[in-house]
Structure 1
Amino acid sequence: MFVCGTLGAYPNSWVSETSNCFVFSLMFSISVVVIACPCALGLATPTAVMVATGVGANHGVLVKGGDALERAQNVNYIIFDKTGTLTQGKATVTTTKVFSGMDVGDFLTLVASAEASSEHPLAKAILDYAFHFHFFGKLPSSKDDVKKRKEDAFSQWLLEVADFSALPGKGVQCLINGKMILVGNRALISENGVNIPEEAESFLVDMELNAKTGILVAYDGNFIGLMGVTDPLKREAAVVIEGLKKMGIYPVMVTGDNWRTALAVAKEIGIEDVRAEVMPAGKADVIRIFQKDGSVVAMVGDGINDSPALAAADVGMAIGAGTDIAIEAADYVLVRNNLEDVITAIDLSRKTFSRIRWNYFFAMAYNIVAIPVAAGALFPFTGLQMPPWLAGACMAFSSVSVVCSSLLLRRYRKPRLTTVLQITVE
């Protein structure tokens, strides 16, 4: 503009008597520089993410950064672990069947002794059941009592164990009285060359068809009995699965449990795609299969066995009641141990990025309109010149408008699942 004024490209009447071409041009230049400040653009994303993170925490969903929020909005598949995720994680023994001449009490003592060193949820259920059988009481739950129980275990009712080994996805094995005892699934029993009697196999199949997990026991190379363990489904599981389908997300269940039990559980909650008898490392492979076509895959789990899958997923969601290693590997932590928070996490992500898009719209629209005005586009027609102080005020207003837009996320209300067929927002 200064060059144009020097060359006489615009009338001298545009410049006041107390000014000159240089000052006249400088005022427009300052206004353009001030009003073009990218503060609003820079605030559009971080302010929304910051507010969304706080809102999520208020609703029991801890978000580990903006990347997790961004990926969650595009989830196509969501993989669920079964035990402790879809189920309550409160396994109880409902059936005990001995197929040898051994007394039931001796059988339970053997199994409980083998499982005493295991950290698996089913091991705790077996210990509780065996303790109650012998003493008509319940195992202590406080840390001090548990420690004391372990110290006194051998002197009270548990047998001494040697060479204990936990086999992920299979069970446990150890030596009791110098003889090998195996407690686990079919794979563990079969791999060690133990034959399962037809009567036991028929009994086991009936349990599995009723969504019970069968725990098989072999001692000194002979099959001696089995136990049936059930873990109640979370009451919200079926509704959450239906809600995810309505959101356009395909649910899948992956478990190390047997096919019959897995299919029975999946049918009850409405999951059509089931992957059963999957080893811990295999869960991550299942996720990679779904990711091959570019789909965004989320994983929901709670245990040590789920940590590789949580790390492999685009979005990992750990149940708050789960293990520390699972929580560390996840992008989201669902503090309340409630599956409804899975929907909350995804819905919050979608609402957050919708708000971010609005923020960018406001910031860009402001620049598109304000910069030409500051540059003097209207001056030839209206004589309107935007002074630098007004440009600064407009710049500040644009930043404030973006921040206020982000703060609207504080009014977020999580989806309320009213029926299986309808999702409404409070």
Structure 2
Amino acid sequence: KQALSLVITVDIPVFFIRMVCPRIHFTRSLLLMHLGPFYIGDLLKWILVSIVQFGVGKRFYVAAYRALRHGSTNMDVLVVLGTTASYVYSVCALLYGAFTGFHPPIYFETSAMIITFVLFGKYLEVLAKGRTSDAIKKLVELVPATALLLLKDKEGKYAAEKEIDASLIQPGDVLKVLPGSKVPADGTVVWGTSHVDESMVTGESAPISKEVSSIVIGGTMNLHGILHIQATKVGSGTVLSQIISLVETAQMSKAPIQKFADYVAGIFVPIVVTLSLVTFIAWFLCGSLGAYPNSWVDETSNCFVFSLMFSISVVVIACPCALGLATPTAVMVATGVGANHGVLVKGGDALERAQNVKYVIFDKTGTLTQGKATVTSTKVFSGIDLGDFLTLVASAEASSEHPLAKAILDYAFHFHFFGKLPSSKDDIKKRKQQILSQWLLEVAEFSALPGKGVQCLINGKKILVGNRTLITENGINIPEEAESFLVDLELNAKTGVLVAYDCELIGSIGMTDPLKREAVVVVEGLKKMGIYPVMVTGDNWRTAQAVAKEVGIEDVRAEVMPAGKADVVRSLQKDGSVIAMVGDGINDSPALAAADVGMAIGAGTDIAIEAADYVLVRNNLEDVITAIDLSRKTFSRIRWNYFFAMAYNIIAIPVAAGALFPFTGLQMPPWLAGACMAFSSVSVVCSSLWLRRYRKPRLTTLLQITVEILLTDRTYTRTSAA
């Protein structure tokens, strides 16, 4: 901006000396006065343009030197060639006129105008690129500047509060968050209840209820009550900082398609220089041989200058700036737009791959389903009491982090708590901790077996809680009654958990995990986009097929271990298909890493998010379609950018070389060529900015899909369809 201001300040007097002053008698006489062998007007232009050429234009010389030193060429080389040719010619013409008395025309203003237009184009590009980072700016602005730190007295009670800079918050600090203020750091609520607006980070429009033990995200807005939170993540470790880092990294990364532009630019510059020399030689030879009338050459010019202007115009107008901007500007805009829609892209390469996705593989638990399992039924065998059975199972599952384990714990707690309902949620949590500590049994040698269940020792006896595989591998027989109970659960899209104690099957638990409300719509939407959905799960075949039928997926892979999920990805990749994997858990990480496009649900584990290429912050499956659609729209725009940039050069270079001059008298001066070149770059940037108008695909609602099925299924009568 400062360079542009300086060059414009110099260009204004140069413009007046060239265009306005010669029309005013007094100023014309002044400019034609001699200072030694030189005209004052020529000296003034020489001094002013030298400031532009070697002061402001120094950046072009430095960049061109670096490129040539590394054996490559770029647009800076062309700018240097064009402006230097114009400047050097004008200096030579000026000196020639001073010593011979014959004053050929000088074109100092040409080099100044070229640099002006190039800088103006760069300035507009910077402004345009700045607008693409609005998503980052909005996220940064979410972070509060200060926080209220709670201070303890000698007895360990919170006795005072102190306002501190938010950057000084340390993990473990307890902070007070007032209604209407922003949460200063990621943490856990240790006192109070309230509702928090997390829409700016997660996209969840409804306020989220927060109570003791609830997790809060830094930058979100506390709406009602006072909260005391204990900071767990600060600085670069917060969710907000990680989102900002992901967006910044993605905007600075190169998409593979950019290599094409770099390759073209590398060979384009030598071709342009050659075309420029050919243009000069052709016009100069034709003029020397009298192939065109002298009237074509201005009376103040000559054949050499006439040819040189065409040559310089070719060099200037052919700068491949627009070609170099076609991809990075579109990627920057797309990543910013994606962040605004809750889709974080980790790089241009991931953005490019997503456009060609053929298969989308879904994990079941926590991805297609809500990940909030509940116990629906229990059945005990061997005459064991239900209370004792639940005590054993809850004790075994207490050390597990699996969603099914938490559901079993909650169910067991409420069973023992039946008839003793507390008066508040806080009371529930306190009583739950008391009851768990009182009736949970001591566990030894606990181990979690991925894809199977858990095992441990209670009272010196081995207890197994898991699926059929776990039970049969340990040589335990499954009675016909238990098998019938399991089959009935699985046919109804429920999961059956078997429990064996002391080498005997003692019971079974039926569990369900409801589908996400948008799952059916998303699967239908993917099919309409020509993408094949696949479900991969560690659950048994009957449950997997029942869930898949409910959601509309035909291709099901069940009873797959975590490492096997990656094998499924590789098997689908064998024919060259691009595979997207959508998951949320640690066991999905190998598959997320193996897939061409890994998509981690935002509410998933840190490991899954780290392994993925996309992070769906809003925990909404609709964002899978948004990610793919955004990729397709972005690279469609990039291809249009390339078309515009290449078509511009194909059309503009012959015009600049004077191909139309013999027929129409149309000539493009170098300064006008510079303006056209800058305009082409700006037009490509504006084309990329059009992506800011991107709107998410409007998916058919579940009701509409149901009506479509009913109306198209011939087995339904008109009455039943209605």
Does the TM-score normalized on the shorter chain lie above 0.5? yes
Tell me how far 1:413 sits from its aligned partner: 0.9
The structure-2 alpha-carbon separation of the partners of 1:425 and 1:16, relative to structure 1 and needing over 3 Å to count, comes to farther
Which structure has the bigger radius of gyration? 2
Q: Is the 8 A contact 2:413 2:436 kept in 1?
A: no
Q: Deviations over 1:59-100 (max 9, x none)?
A: 111111111111111111110100000001110011111112
Q: Is the 8 A contact 2:359 2:534 kept in 1?
A: yes
Distance 1:423 1:27 in 2: 66
1:219 is aligned, of 497, 501, 507, to 501
The structure-2 alpha-carbon separation of the partners of 1:140 and 1:103, relative to structure 1 and needing over 3 Å to count, comes to same
Q: Is the 8 A contact 1:240 1:339 kept in 2?
A: yes
Any idea what SS the aligned residue of 1:251 has? strand
Tell me how far 1:354 sits from its aligned partner: 1.0
The structure-2 alpha-carbon separation of the partners of 1:423 and 1:386, relative to structure 1 and needing over 3 Å to count, comes to farther
Q: Is the 8 A contact 1:189 1:216 kept in 2?
A: yes
The structure-2 alpha-carbon separation of the partners of 1:425 and 1:127, relative to structure 1 and needing over 3 Å to count, comes to closer
The structure-2 alpha-carbon separation of the partners of 1:30 and 1:142, relative to structure 1 and needing over 3 Å to count, comes to farther
Q: Is the 8 A contact 1:366 1:398 kept in 2?
A: yes
Q: Is the 8 A contact 2:658 2:667 kept in 1?
A: yes
Q: Deviations over 1:325-359 (max 9, x none)?
A: 11111111111111111111111111111111111
The structure-2 alpha-carbon separation of the partners of 1:150 and 1:373, relative to structure 1 and needing over 3 Å to count, comes to farther
Tell me how far 1:419 sits from its aligned partner: 3.7
Tell me how far 1:388 sits from its aligned partner: 1.1
Q: Which residue of 2 aligns with 1:203?
A: 485
Q: Is the 8 A contact 1:128 1:139 kept in 2?
A: no
Tell me how far 1:381 sits from its aligned partner: 1.6
Q: Is the 8 A contact 1:252 1:272 kept in 2?
A: yes
Tell me how far 1:5 sits from its aligned partner: 3.7
Matches within 5 A, 1:142-291: 155-291=437-573
TM-score relative to the length of structure 1: 0.93
Distance 1:142 1:302 in 2: 32
Tell me how far 1:13 sits from its aligned partner: 3.4
Q: Is the 8 A contact 1:73 1:349 kept in 2?
A: yes
Any idea what SS the aligned residue of 1:413 has? coil
The structure-2 alpha-carbon separation of the partners of 1:153 and 1:282, relative to structure 1 and needing over 3 Å to count, comes to farther
The structure-2 alpha-carbon separation of the partners of 1:149 and 1:65, relative to structure 1 and needing over 3 Å to count, comes to farther
Q: Is the 8 A contact 1:302 1:326 kept in 2?
A: yes
Q: Is the 8 A contact 1:243 1:423 kept in 2?
A: no
CA RMSD of aligned residues (A): 3.1
Q: Is the 8 A contact 1:47 1:403 kept in 2?
A: yes
Distance 2:457 2:293 in 1: 103
Any idea what SS the aligned residue of 1:216 has? strand
Which one is further off, 412-421 or 271-280? 412-421
2:650 is aligned, of 354, 363, 368, to 368
Q: Deviations over 1:206-234 (max 9, x none)?
A: 11111110111111111111101100001
The structure-2 alpha-carbon separation of the partners of 1:141 and 1:182, relative to structure 1 and needing over 3 Å to count, comes to farther
Q: Is the 8 A contact 1:80 1:254 kept in 2?
A: yes
1:419 partnered with 2:711: no
Tell me how far 1:113 sits from its aligned partner: 1.1
Distance 1:259 1:139 in 2: 39
Distance 2:394 2:314 in 1: 78
The structure-2 alpha-carbon separation of the partners of 1:421 and 1:295, relative to structure 1 and needing over 3 Å to count, comes to farther
Q: Is the 8 A contact 2:413 2:432 kept in 1?
A: no
Q: Is the 8 A contact 2:413 2:435 kept in 1?
A: no
Any idea what SS the aligned residue of 2:292 has? coil
Tell me how far 1:30 sits from its aligned partner: 1.6
The structure-2 alpha-carbon separation of the partners of 1:295 and 1:160, relative to structure 1 and needing over 3 Å to count, comes to same
Any idea what SS the aligned residue of 1:418 has? coil
Work out the percentage of aligned pairs sharing the same amino acid: 91
The structure-2 alpha-carbon separation of the partners of 1:107 and 1:355, relative to structure 1 and needing over 3 Å to count, comes to same
Q: Is the 8 A contact 1:242 1:420 kept in 2?
A: no
Q: Which residue of 2 aligns with 1:102?
A: 384
The structure with higher relative contact order (CA 8 Å, sep 6+) is 1
Q: Is the 8 A contact 1:242 1:421 kept in 2?
A: no
Which one is further off, 14-23 or 415-424? 415-424
Distance 1:163 1:189 in 2: 18
Q: Deviations over 1:147-191 (max 9, x none)?
A: 999997874221111111111110111111111111110100011
The structure-2 alpha-carbon separation of the partners of 1:425 and 1:229, relative to structure 1 and needing over 3 Å to count, comes to closer
Which one is further off, 414-423 or 56-65? 414-423
The structure-2 alpha-carbon separation of the partners of 1:151 and 1:228, relative to structure 1 and needing over 3 Å to count, comes to closer
Q: Is the 8 A contact 1:417 1:423 kept in 2?
A: no
Q: Is the 8 A contact 2:380 2:506 kept in 1?
A: yes
Q: Which runs of 5+ in 1 are unaligned?
A: none
Q: Deviations over 1:19-46 (max 9, x none)?
A: 2333222211221111111110111111
The structure-2 alpha-carbon separation of the partners of 1:89 and 1:387, relative to structure 1 and needing over 3 Å to count, comes to same
Q: Which residue of 2 aligns with 1:399?
A: 681
Any idea what SS the aligned residue of 2:706 has? strand
Distance 1:155 1:257 in 2: 31
Tell me how far 1:302 sits from its aligned partner: 0.5
Q: Is the 8 A contact 1:415 1:424 kept in 2?
A: no
Tell me how far 1:423 sits from its aligned partner: 10
Q: Deviations over 1:99-123 (max 9, x none)?
A: 1222111111111111111111111
Q: Is the 8 A contact 1:373 1:386 kept in 2?
A: yes
Q: Is the 8 A contact 1:415 1:425 kept in 2?
A: no
Distance 1:324 1:157 in 2: 33
The structure-2 alpha-carbon separation of the partners of 1:171 and 1:388, relative to structure 1 and needing over 3 Å to count, comes to same
TM-score relative to the length of structure 2: 0.56
Any idea what SS the aligned residue of 1:425 has? helix
Q: Is the 8 A contact 2:334 2:691 kept in 1?
A: yes
Count residues in correspondence. Answer: 425
Any idea what SS the aligned residue of 1:78 has? strand
Distance 2:676 2:390 in 1: 78
Distance 1:424 1:47 in 2: 42
